[in-house]
Structure 1
């Protein structure tokens, strides 16, 4: 009887298992959101298994099994957790080191998965904004403390242009430690230098900015054209002045430290006493220029005047030849041809003016080339006379003799202005020509016009 009952139970158990039903396949995978880590961080990297028979193990890049946490094993260890849908074994790494980088393997029986963990050290530049001063003729080194792992890519820029030492080996040298050496410093080396550092594997970018100044002797230049005078021993400039008028002669220099200026009247090739009258010589506070105010009252006031600019690094001089010149004629007419909220555009005609053709200019003292116009705009106030002393002044050059349109701004919107214009040449300015008042538009007009254009465009599209 017992035998029969056992047989029935066995047959019932066998029959309860369907022939098409199989046990779930075992799985194993590393659950790592990122495989790039930074030195000093603490990370937990999980390995999850399901339907496993053998236990999960973590193997280091050297192939050594990682043990659970203990007093001797407190930096790199594993923990074991059981969840409803499987087993979770995190690999814990405290204070990650560069040596922790490599292939880490999670293994359970014949199943395994390996991932390469990249451990890097981000470049950390402590002082990212530096001011440095060099000396003319010497070299200077600009450092870029780009210490990190993997080795970063470092590129130097000057005023947003990349520096390539292979292109200019006599000027630049970039060392293995990313130091930029600039040789034989001069005024042209003054500027903003940026060391850009990139570690692509770590998705890390940083930079360092160096503001470089250079101590150098004065370099004289023309304030109107911004052209630097050549290195000839005797620098000269032809200047034209009008009899019974005032002529401002400007001596400009680039220098560090700022220069001291001295003016001399020359006779027969020799300097006279320095011109020290504060009403005659005005020097800017920053030392960028000094202006000699000449009052040409008689023919003897024409002649040679020397300007000397000196600092601790050296001295440079220029001789201005003051020649008789003629006052230009004023424009024939000036008419308003366009206006918006901030600008006014005028058409200026001058039949007596001689304009430059290409690089050729008139050097005839009685008929010098007209180089531009001066506009003055004074706000109109009803019941008050024109305040030309408080008027805004705009100096515009003639760039193309065929183009007679000139725009002045930025102005206040919906405002009426009194307008006057005069021509200018190398000697001075013409008399003023007053023209009709001009008015800027207001925002409402501009918005209405824009709205009208939009409606018109819509109608065109519909029909």
Structure 2
């Protein structure tokens, strides 16, 4: 690639080489002693003052490209010559000089001279300072010929296996030698002595990951930079690690992974109320979920499709129990399996108390996207964490469930289409009565109802007598005020 760097000296465009050859240093001294002449030349180009100028601009070139560079002189008593980085004169076109040669225009005169430098099919060894010189005047350009890195593939997918190793290649040949960096999910990878290894073999910068686990699944990127050429390239490797299913819990969009093969959970249900039990597991290949009813030490498969709902991403399955009577109580088993292994959860479903309905609910404040409610339940078990009740007939209140339906004049609330918001009592502090519900639509009126919630289920609903409305968005209010101001202005004109 070719890089030409220019700066202005007393009004004349003069090339500044980054490396000084002996010829370049001598030329600088001569040019410094004639600085006054350059100033005059800037004002007049045809007053007989000798001048020399390389007619080129900053550019970047790759190996194999061609370039013609012009050198123009005015009022020069000496011939213009081009000099290669080895300080040898560049000869004119011939059988010997067929790739790099100079050429003079036929109308070349003493008053105006133009000499062309031809460089065909750039090579790395062409890098250096090229000088156009006539007597004591000269200009030097620094030519950097580079080879841009070209990666064989921009993206690859790699299937790894748990406990084994994975090696990713990033082969990038180029000049100047590129700088490499591996990233995982946009975070720079730092080698260690146990898990991650980085090694360079000639032009290949290899990443090795040992003892693969599900945590290694992700996107790995090799970024290659050639700063001198302003060139950047990257290669992505999508790693999927095959592993057995792992149970997990999810709170506030955060997964807590369990590495045990099985576990048991206590589940409380309310008779004559639906009870959903969700089993969560992550695995690759995607795990298959199966549900069983345990009876007398035997696992009886649950085949009723209406009782089971699997998530679209394949990471969870929900058993929807119809708690018509106490016969539905007992043990249920969730089994998650793939080719790499299996895990399961035993749920002990027992009867719990239905919580009391809230005493009252009222609106405290509204914003563009939220409504703050004041909710109280004087007869509910609001024990703090230390006194949290494990008595199935007096379960501690976890929080409240709000249902909101947009208000439509002349229509009753369609609670089947309501949006549900579960708000928890933070840290089981008491008395906490203010709860923020959202996000909601701007400037929208809602029907609202709320129930008390414990680990068994929800109480009866208490419906809010009023229909609160969220505030206008600022931009809507601004547009309204602007329109109102415009109308007032027109009325006054």
Q: Same fold (TM over 0.5)?
A: yes
In the aligned structure 2, how far is the partner of 1:355 from the partner of 1:155?
Answer: 54
Match of 1:244 in 2: 272
Match of 2:406 in 1: 379
Matched, 1:427 2:456: yes
Deviates more, 1:154-163 or 1:315-324: 315-324
Residue by residue, what CA displacement relative to the aligned partner does 1:5-42 show, whole Å, maximum 9, x if unpaired? xxxxxxxxxxxxxxxxxx96644454442264322222
Judge conservation of contact 2:266–2:349 (CA < 8 Å) in 1: yes
Structure 1 counterpart of 2:440, from 410, 417, 423: 410
Displacement, 1:450?
9.2
Secondary structure in 2 matching 1:222: strand
Match of 2:489 in 1: none
Unaligned runs of 5+ in 2: 1-46, 486-493
Residue by residue, what CA displacement relative to the aligned partner does 1:281-306 show, whole Å, maximum 9, x if unpaired? 33345432222223334445433322
Match of 1:16 in 2: none
In the aligned structure 1, how far is the partner of 2:451 from the partner of 2:169?
Answer: 54
C-alpha distance 449-287 of structure 1, shift in aligned 2 (>3 A): closer
Judge conservation of contact 2:195–2:209 (CA < 8 Å) in 1: yes
In the aligned structure 2, how far is the partner of 1:83 from the partner of 1:56?
Answer: 11
C-alpha distance 293-39 of structure 1, shift in aligned 2 (>3 A): same
In the aligned structure 1, how far is the partner of 2:399 from the partner of 2:112?
Answer: 86
Query: Superposition pairs for residues 58-457 of structure 1, below 5 Å?
Result: 58-81=82-105, 82=108, 86-125=112-151, 127-165=153-191, 168-176=192-200, 177-224=204-251, 226-267=254-295, 270-284=297-311, 286-299=313-326, 301-354=328-381, 357=384, 361-399=388-426, 401=429, 402=432, 404-411=434-441, 413-435=442-464, 436-442=466-472, 447=477
Judge conservation of contact 2:375–2:433 (CA < 8 Å) in 1: no
C-alpha distance 90-331 of structure 1, shift in aligned 2 (>3 A): farther
| Structure showing greater Rg | 1
Secondary structure in 1 matching 2:298: strand
Secondary structure in 2 matching 1:279: helix
In the aligned structure 2, how far is the partner of 1:358 from the partner of 1:120?
Answer: 68
In the aligned structure 1, how far is the partner of 2:267 from the partner of 2:231?
Answer: 58
Secondary structure in 1 matching 2:394: coil
In the aligned structure 2, how far is the partner of 1:352 from the partner of 1:450?
Answer: 47
Unaligned runs of 5+ in 1: 1-22, 456-463
Displacement, 1:309?
0.8
C-alpha distance 76-418 of structure 1, shift in aligned 2 (>3 A): same
Displacement, 1:418?
0.9
Residue by residue, what CA displacement relative to the aligned partner does 1:69-126 show, whole Å, maximum 9, x if unpaired? 2344332111224479642323221221212112223233344443331111222335
Displacement, 1:432?
0.8
In the aligned structure 2, how far is the partner of 1:446 from the partner of 1:130?
Answer: 47
Secondary structure in 2 matching 1:175: strand
Aligned residue pairs total 427
In the aligned structure 2, how far is the partner of 1:92 from the partner of 1:73?
Answer: 10
Deviates more, 1:290-299 or 1:206-215: 290-299
Structure 2 length-normalised TM: 0.77
Structure 1 length-normalised TM: 0.82
In the aligned structure 1, how far is the partner of 2:407 from the partner of 2:60?
Answer: 69
Deviates more, 1:322-331 or 1:292-301: 292-301
Secondary structure in 2 matching 1:447: helix
C-alpha distance 266-98 of structure 1, shift in aligned 2 (>3 A): same
C-alpha distance 420-367 of structure 1, shift in aligned 2 (>3 A): same
Judge conservation of contact 1:229–1:235 (CA < 8 Å) in 2: no
In the aligned structure 1, how far is the partner of 2:260 from the partner of 2:292?
Answer: 20
C-alpha distance 211-445 of structure 1, shift in aligned 2 (>3 A): closer
Secondary structure in 1 matching 2:398: strand
